[in-house]
């Protein structure tokens, strides 16, 4: 177990090991270039000889938290931290990622940093130390190249010997096999040339990648500008549609209000007309009721007169009354026919009728002549 942070938020860089047999923790003392204190990194075991540490989150010199993309190797046999030599573009700074080793390749997936989150996959081929060129490693170490890293590494001054060798006699022939310094010099030049070629190739690859990155940034800027223009065009179109919709709503509301006012006025006129007609009908009903009542009264009056007339007629037919009585009765009948209300028979002096009087039929023409 390496790194992490405690309750106070301080990062740790201690290495602890757990004995799985007796479940006993033990702090180990490790040599070499110890990685910076960090957390949220990954430790990946390669067989049973090396453990690779990659990435993590740590403090910078000014005290701010930042992510890392450094890679360190812990040699289990020597218990020593090393910075492996690699070429190519390393993964971006990240923490909270996932790493695993498969067929001597270290895979890095996902993670995040202060700027973005990642879902990319990076791979690094692990080469055995026996396959590397020892001379090249020594030369690069003398020049202070310990691998591509963002951390500060002091430049080492090459150890060059300034010694004057004694001149050999001119007659003595120089044998290349007998002159080891010349052979070493020629070997050093070849290795140096090869190292410089590889360094130049690495820088050329970096330049190519940076140019590619610049092109991608330019394309991204153009795409962003096009997207902004398209967004502005969509915004203008949306505003136009919103304005047209608002105008349509206003026009529709105005038409609806006009139609509703017209229907309301028409409804009011119809209601007023219905009220007037209803009042007229009520007045007509009252008038008809009055006429019906008047007709009813006249009918009752006429019925009463007819009954009285029938009584008088039957009296005349029996021969009752004299000429004076008949004259009085005729006058009373004329008077009753001209009145609207029934009246009682006038109270004339009673006329005595004898039962022995003969019944003299009175004809209608006689009554008219008498009148």
**Confidence (pLDDT) at 224:** 94
Question: Could you tell me the pLDDT band of residue 86, with boundaries at 50, 70 and 90?
Answer: confident
Give the position of tokens 């070997």: 187
* More confident of the two residues 279 and 328: 279
Q: What is the per-residue burial (b if ≥16 Cβ within 10 Å, else e) of 24-45?
A: eeeeeebeeeebbbbbbbbbbe
**Confidence (pLDDT) at 167:** 46
- Separation CA 4–CA 42 (nearest Å): 11
pLDDT in tens, 218-236: 999 999 999 999 999 999 9
Give the range among 83-92, 187-196, 289-298, 339-348 with minimum mean pLDDT: 339-348
**Confidence (pLDDT) at 72:** 94
Mean pLDDT value of segment 64-78: 92
**Confidence (pLDDT) at 11:** 87
Give the range among 171-185, 288-302, 336-350 with minimum mean pLDDT: 171-185
Q: Are strands 65-67 and 57-59 parallel, antiparallel or unpaired?
A: antiparallel
pLDDT in tens, 9-51: 788 888 999 999 999 999 999 999 899 999 999 999 998 889 9
Q: What is the per-residue burial (b if ≥16 Cβ within 10 Å, else e) of 208-242?
A: eeeeeeeeeeeeeeeeeeeeeeeeeeeeeeeeeee
Mean pLDDT value of segment 264-278: 93
Mean pLDDT for the chain overall: 78
**Confidence (pLDDT) at 218:** 92
- Separation CA 242–CA 248 (nearest Å): 10
* More confident of the two residues 366 and 212: 212
Q: With a cut of 70, say whether residue 154 has pLDDT above it.
A: no
Mean pLDDT value of segment 135-158: 53
**Confidence (pLDDT) at 9:** 75
pLDDT in tens, 275-302: 999 999 999 999 999 999 999 998 998 8
Question: Could you tell me the pLDDT band of residue 338, with boundaries at 50, 70 and 90?
Answer: low
- Separation CA 234–CA 157 (nearest Å): 63
Residue of 209, 225, 191, 183 lying closest to 90 (CA atoms): 209
**Confidence (pLDDT) at 15:** 92
Q: Can you tell me whether residue 304 is helix, strand or coil? A: helix
Boundaries of every domain in the chain: 1-132
Q: Which residues pair with 75 in a beta bridge?
A: 50, 80
Query: CB-side exposure of 120: number of CA atoms within 13 Å?
Result: 11
pTM, 2 dp: 0.38
Q: With a cut of 60, say whether residue 345 has pLDDT above it.
A: no
pLDDT in tens, 242-265: 999 999 999 999 999 999 999 999
Give the range among 3-12, 162-171, 224-233 with minimum mean pLDDT: 162-171
Q: With a cut of 70, say whether residue 324 has pLDDT above it.
A: no
Question: Could you tell me the pLDDT band of residue 123, with boundaries at 50, 70 and 90?
Answer: very high
- Separation CA 133–CA 194 (nearest Å): 11
* % residues pLDDT > 70 (the chain): 69
For domain 1-132, the question of CATH label 2.120.10.80 is answered with yes
Alpha helices in the chain (DSSP H): 134-142, 180-317, 323-337, 364-370
* Helix (DSSP H) and strand (DSSP E) numbers for the chain: 4, 12
Burial (Cβ within 10 Å: 0-12, 13-18, ≥19) of residue 2: buried
């Amino acid at each position: 177990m390496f790194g992490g942070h405690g309750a106070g938020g301080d990062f740790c860089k201690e290495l602890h090991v757990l004995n799985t047999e007796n479940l006993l923790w033990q702090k180990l003392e490790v040599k070499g270039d110890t990685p910076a204190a960090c957390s949220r990194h990954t430790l990946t075991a390669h067989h049973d000889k090396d453990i690779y540490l990659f990435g993590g989150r740590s403090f910078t010199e000014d005290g701010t938290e930042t992510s890392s993309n450094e890679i360190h190797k812990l040699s289990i046999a020597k218990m020593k931290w090393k910075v492996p030599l690699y070429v190519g573009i390393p993964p971006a700074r990240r923490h909270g990622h996932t790493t695993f080793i498969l067929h001597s390749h270290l895979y890095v997936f996902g993670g995040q940093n202060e700027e973005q989150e990642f879902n990319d996959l990076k791979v690094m081929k692990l080469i055995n130390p026996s396959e590397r060129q020892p001379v090249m490693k020594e030369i690069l170490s003398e020049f202070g190249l310990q691998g591509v890293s963002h951390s500060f590494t002091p430049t080492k001054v090459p150890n060059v010997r300034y010694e004057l060798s004694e001149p050999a006699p001119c007659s003595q022939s120089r044998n290349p096999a007998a002159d080891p310094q010349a052979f070493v010099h020629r070997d050093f030049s070849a290795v140096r040339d090869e190292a410089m070629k590889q360094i130049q190739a690495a820088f050329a690859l970096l330049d190519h990648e940076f140019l590619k990155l610049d092109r991608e940034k330019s394309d991204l800027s153009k795409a962003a500008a096009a997207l902004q223009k398209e967004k502005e065009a969509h915004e203008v179109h949306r505003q136009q549609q919103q304005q047209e919709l608002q105008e349509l709503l206003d026009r529709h509301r105005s038409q609806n209000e006009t139609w509703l006012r017209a229907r309301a006025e028409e409804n009011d006129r119809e209601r007023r007309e219905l009220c007037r007609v209803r009042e007229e009908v009520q007045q007509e009903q009252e008038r008809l009721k009055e006429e019906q009542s008047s007709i009813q009264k006249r009918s009752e009056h006429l019925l009463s007169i007819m009954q009285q007339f029938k009584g008088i007629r039957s009296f005349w037919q029996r021969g009752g009354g004299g000429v004076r009585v008949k004259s009085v009765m005729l006058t009373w009948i004329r008077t009753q026919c001209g009145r609207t209300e029934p009246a009682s028979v006038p109270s004339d002096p009673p006329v005595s009728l004898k039962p022995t009087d003969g019944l003299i039929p009175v004809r209608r023409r006689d009554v008219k002549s008498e009148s």
